[in-house]
Amino acid sequence: MTDRPVVIRPPETLLEEPGKRLSHGGILGTPAGLFTVLVFEYPSPPAHAESVPSWTVYLTEPGTRHAVLALPRAMAAPNHSVHFIACSFGTVPDPARLLMVVQHRDLPRPQAVDLRTPAPAGHGALSWLAAPGALRGTGPEPARVWHCGLLRTPSLVFTHLEANSHVPDVFAAPGWDLSPYRGEGQPRPLAADFTPSRLLHGTSTGSDQFSSYDAIFEAPETAAAFTWTCAPLGLATTQQALG
């Protein structure tokens, strides 16, 4: 696997009915394995509102009982009826033989994506303002740093930035603080900036050799420059995003 994400499938809408729409924001092959973002849009809070909705997302090969479970992390932007669910599956031998299945009690039925068949043309309610890519530096970095692109709904923009390193303590505190209560002068190891769009939600996770950052911004009205940054490695990438 290279350090640049490979797009296995572009964004698709899985369910669209009055009051509910479920989409995935592209299925990516990344240095850490398969990754996708589910986007659940609704006009009012789901019937079973929870701080972390109980999503079950897995990959399975038809005809077998074996499955690779994702580790979904759900987040929402204040005053917007949208949930983003970032799903990391880990490494799988051959994605082209698998189904991705999504379950939640607020869905009328499980939704499935057949990775063995081509994606339907024009079957996505979501769009990329910037394609998935990697952060690159001037020398040989002991890490792979990639982002899932900029995923746009009508009113919001989401991104996921992730770094994996084989060198211990690259992302460890106290040098890099993951806490939302970090003091002034203690930056996150990973960051995303979309000036002048307003940041609505940002969450960091990680360990001494892994770090990820998920962020939700208001969608820009005009073209704007978006920057992903990995401070411990001195890496940054800027792309123009359409409004």
Q: Is the pLDDT confidence value at 130 over 80? A: yes
Highest mean pLDDT among 40-44, 65-69, 100-104, 139-143: 100-104
In the three-class reduction of DSSP (H, G, I as helix; E, B as strand; rest coil), residue 60 is classed as strand
CATH match of 127-241 with 2.60.40: yes
Sequence-separated (6 or more) residues with CB below 8 Å from residue 19: 42, 43, 44
Q: What are phi and psi of 213, to 5 degrees?
A: -140, 125
Q: How confident is residue 181, by pLDDT bands cut at 50, 70 and 90?
A: low
* 6 closest CA partner among 144, 156, 189, 175: 144
Question: Which pLDDT value is given to residue 1?
Answer: 43
Where do the CATH 2.60.40 domains begin and end in the chain?
6-114, 127-241
Average the pLDDT over 59-86 and give the result.
Answer: 90
The yes-or-no verdict on residue 63 having pLDDT over 90 is no
Task: Output the pTM of the full model.
Answer: 0.88
User: Cα 70 vs. chain centroid, distance in angstroms?
Assistant: 12
Q: What is the C-alpha to C-alpha distance for residues 12 and 126, in angstroms, rounded to an integer?
A: 7
User: Do residues 178 and 186 make contact, with C-beta atoms less than 8 angstroms apart?
Assistant: no
pLDDT band at 37 (very low <50, low <70, confident <90, very high): very high
CA angle 202/206/210 to nearest 5° reads 125
CB 33 within 8 A of CB 91: yes
Q: Quick one: average pLDDT of 144-155?
A: 91
What is the CATH number that goes with domain 6-114? 2.60.40
- Check whether 148 has a pLDDT greater than 60: yes
The per-residue pLDDT for 141 is 54
